[in-house]
Copies of this chain bind each other. A is one copy, B any other.
Amino acid sequence: MGEFELIDRYFKRPVQRNALGIGDDCALLSVAPGMRLAVSSDMLVEGRHFLSTVDPFRLGHKALAVNLSDLAACGASPLAFTLALAMPSADEAWLAPFSRGLLALADTHGCELVGGDTTRGPLNICITAFGEVPHSQALLRSGAQTGDDIYVSGTLGDARLALEVFRGTVSVPAAVFDRARARMEQPTPRIALGQALLGVASSAIDVSDGLLGDLGHILRQSAVGASIDTALAAGLMDAAGILPPAQQLEYVLAGGDDYELVFTASPSQREAVQAAALSAQVKVSRIGRIEPHPGLRLLDAQGRELENRFNSFDHFISP
């Protein structure tokens, strides 16, 4: 199978939008007046972002999901994406389920594959996704204000739990593992929530490297600090109560690969935040507050400060 046949067989689809689609030098996208184009690019490397044992259908889903999660964190509505794919050989047994998983998620969000590249090389998946967001309404990392509440969507730490089971450092019942593994391998981008938070949230980011690390980007770019109620945060794990409390808290605060949204909003928006969560059909939990003093403080149930010994994931520092 050659490069062009590979594209035709697995990735070419009828053009939907007023766009050119696959098969010219460039995809041509028209963007609505009054809108900004949001662009996110993520690269997934075997052994680093996924295990060689992963189901290709789930990997196709995840490769797009991590990009859509970035669009969600801006409140953008997905439009289209490009796929650049390096693989050791044109393996149909892998390509067929990979493309199905990828395009199933794309269809869910009306996000069209409009171009890209395929080449031989160590397995590497690079997706660039495009969305649109109303001019001046985009959710940025820089908008948090002193006094704002801090919220997280969904659950945290379960992807890390699955990873540690694979690594052999933790053992859990099969049903717990299956749920955690689905969280790790097939995350749900919070697209509807991001859009519902336009005009409600003051800042947002998606949790990919770990809650504390990603919240840290909001704090630095907004020039503020924060305190987190660790008693509230600890309960955010779906598989709560399985691990020792300290380990559960670590997975929640610094697990990574969660693809939930952490965002801030004025206390005057509490009802609006819950209405956004309801409309997006995802739980959101209030876990802390933005403060003027820089830095991130972890508080216990009695409001006493805990030592922050949690590191978020860094692709060039972490082991």
A12 to B155, CA, bound (A): 33
Q: Which A residues from 140 to 163 make CB contacts under 8 A with B?
A: 140-142
CB of B74 within 8 A of CB of A39, answer no
User: Which of B20, B36, B43, B47 lies in contact with A84, CB distance below 8 A?
Assistant: B43
A231 to B37, CA, bound (A): 48
Nearest CB on B from A114, distance (A): 7
Q: Which A residues from 1 to 37 make CB contacts under 8 A with B?
A: 1-4, 6, 20, 23-31, 33, 36-37
A86 to B84, CA, bound (A): 13
A122 to B46, CA, bound (A): 10
Residue A89 at the B interface, CB < 8 A? yes
Q: What residues of chain B lie closer than 8 Å to A221, measured between beta carbons?
A: 23-24
Residue A271 at the B interface, CB < 8 A? no
As a 0/1 sequence over residues 113 to 124 of chain A, the CB contacts with chain B under 8 angstroms (1 = contact) are 011111111101
A194 to B84, CA, bound (A): 24
Residue A98 at the B interface, CB < 8 A? no
Stretch at the interface among A126-134, A234-242, A245-253, A298-306: A126-134
User: Interface range on chain A: under 10, 10 to 19, 20 to 34, or 35 or more?
Assistant: 35 or more
CB of A116 within 8 A of CB of B86, answer no
CB of A39 within 8 A of CB of B141, answer no
User: Which of B40, B121, B126 lies in contact with A25, CB distance below 8 A?
Assistant: B40
CB of B45 within 8 A of CB of A120, answer yes
Nearest CB on B from A311, distance (A): 10
Q: What residues of chain B lie closer than 8 Å to A121, measured between beta carbons?
A: 43, 45-48, 122, 124
Residue A315 at the B interface, CB < 8 A? yes
